[in-house]
Amino acid sequence: MIEPVQLPVPWRDARLTVVVPTYNEAGNLPVLVERLFALPLPGLRVLVADDNSPDGTGEVADKLAIEHPDRVQVVHRAGKEGLGRAYVDGISRALDGGAEYVAQMDADLSHPPEALPGMLGALLSTQAGVVIGSRYVPGGQLDENWPLYRRALSGWANLYVHTLLQVRIRDLTAGFKIWRADALRDIGLDRVQSNGYSFQVEMHYLATKLGHTILEVPIRFEERRDGISKMTTATKIESALMPFKLRAKHRNLG
């Protein structure tokens, strides 16, 4: 586990909301929240967007909100509508709640919370609209236990999308990042079409088309310790078709 960067005042007091979509993450969520609140970021808040998890993740999130009434908010969604819809809902509520910066991260502990202060520092010290925790820039790492087929799928997906959309990002499918609130408002979440994992690619594409600077910093990506991946055949198909839809819809954007 890396040691979190110590940011100077007032950077460390920034109003940062971490949006965490959940579906069957009852075992991982309390661990994630504990690690987030151990960071030297007193302005950090957590917003959990739960898709009515059958394993009781929503109830676990409610208990965390009772324990940390000023720092945890829970959005209970009707059902499993996909990662993209959960993020649109969660990020919109974070912005409405006054967040200056919004982080995206998975609940499965694959993204190291301890990297957040460094990512926030990189955002605040540059003109970037978003900082990505990247697996594929120099210094980035993949857990040795990550299955070979997942490595191949991730590598192929990045090459495929980069070829079609010509976006200069190494880790186009990355799900760990921090946005400036004004960049998110400029993108306009009402523009977003994706339901599943292609949400990540769509947001990067829109940010690029609108001229926002995107910065990648290296992280170590861990294999999940509990639960199973939510990647389905339907989400893979959506991800494969999305670049063509994006090129057609946003041809004149920016």
Q: Look at the block and give the residue holding tokens 């186009």.
A: 172
SS3 22: strand
Q: What pLDDT does residue 11 have?
A: 96
Q: What pLDDT does residue 166 have?
A: 78
The tokens describing 253, both together, are 């954007």
Partner residues linked to 47 by β-bridges: 19, 73
Q: What pLDDT does residue 49 have?
A: 98
Q: What pLDDT does residue 231 have?
A: 56
Q: pLDDT digit string (tens) for 80-137? A: 888 999 999 999 999 999 999 999 999 999 999 999 999 999 999 999 999 999 999 9
Q: What pLDDT does residue 157 have?
A: 75
C-alpha 123/C-alpha 212 separation (Å) is 12
Q: Look at the block and give the residue holding tokens 């910093």.
A: 217
67 closest CA partner among 37, 97, 95, 44: 37
Residues in the chain where the model's pLDDT stays below 70: 146, 149, 224-239, 254
Q: What pLDDT does residue 159 have?
A: 79
Q: Look at the block and give the residue holding tokens 């959960």.
A: 86
User: What proportions of the chain, in percent to the nearest 5, are helix, strand and coil?
Assistant: 40, 15, 40
Q: Look at the block and give the residue holding tokens 């990506």.
A: 221
* Phi, psi values for residue 196, rounded to 5°: -105, -145
C-alpha 215/C-alpha 160 separation (Å) is 21
Q: What pLDDT does residue 236 have?
A: 62
Sign of CA pseudo-dihedral 99, 105, 106, 112 = negative
The answer to whether 107 and 29 have CB atoms below 8 angstroms apart is yes
Q: Where are the beta strands (DSSP E) in 32-159?
A: 44-50, 72-76, 101-104, 130-134, 141-142
SS3 87: helix
